[in-house]
Amino acid sequence: MTTPPRVSLAETSHESAIELPAIGQGTWFMGEGLAPRADEVRALQQGLDLGLKLIDTAEMYGDGGAEEVVGKALRSRRDDAFLVSKVYPWNAGRDSAIAACERSLQRLGTDYLDLYLLHWPGGIPLDETLEAFERLRESGKIRRFGVSNFDIDDMQALNATPGGDECAVNQVLYHLGSRGIEHSLRPWQRDHGMPLMAYCPLAQAGRLRRQLLDHPEVTALAAERDLTPAQLLLAWAIRPVDGKRDVIAIPKAVQSQHVRDNAAALGASLDDDAMARLDAAFPAPAGKEPLDIV
């Protein structure tokens, strides 16, 4: 049996290196009444059963509602998941981050997070946030920390801050139709051994989703390879670059078939012809672009 593609989080001064499946589960828009919570819970549990171990959530999603959904999904099976949540920038202070994490843990029904992210850069100094993250780590509340929506200048500032070099990941918007990070941010992170987490890997927001999933080249390539367009886009997002995988995609799914399709995409690979055709239809950036954020 072929081993599903994995991405490594580097060893830290306190944690061993860990390998995670290259596709996880997102929860943006869960807990907001868009689908029955029972269906959302079942979808996350199904994903765990199919090997989608990483579950990403945030205090922002559904004003804590998504964390509550995740908590129900992980009841009696916390050890099956690699659990990620995120703190608002304005809650990322020396003491406020501790309180925010405690609230997230309560909603999630667990006593620790595998990874805690600063949701986007804010006005609180990074050294203050890192101090809070270290206190959370020392107390066993989090095992690793990371960031989200950080561009290269933000990452360089973080890396120059004492303790910032232990940042585990940067979670950013990334999909075939939004490749700006490939110019400078992704190479910088690869040089520093830091993976990316790709949110909206299917361009879930706005009109672009329809344009991307319905694009003639995407639909043609998917049909030729017996994939759905979404599976093709996931396979592209997690593709190895120079022989190394450094992207964990976190699509959200509630429908059972979508969960199965996402998990099956771990077994999909794109040959040189497919890559060339996708590059022609959606070229890599020629220069630095502003970080794409939804």
Q: Which residues are catalytic?
A: 61
Q: Residue 85 — left, alpha, or beta (φ > 0 → left; ψ -120 to 50 → alpha)?
A: beta
Comparing CA positions, the residue from 213, 265, 275, 242 lying closest to residue 23 is 265
Which residues on adjacent β-strands are paired with residue 248?
197
Distances (CA, A) of 203 to 107, 144, 179, 288, 292: 28, 28, 12, 20, 11
Q: What pairing do the DSSP bridges indicate for beta strands 82-87 and 54-56?
A: parallel
Sign of CA dihedral 242, 245, 246, 249: positive
Compute CA distances 168 → 8, 16, 29, whole Å: 10, 12, 25
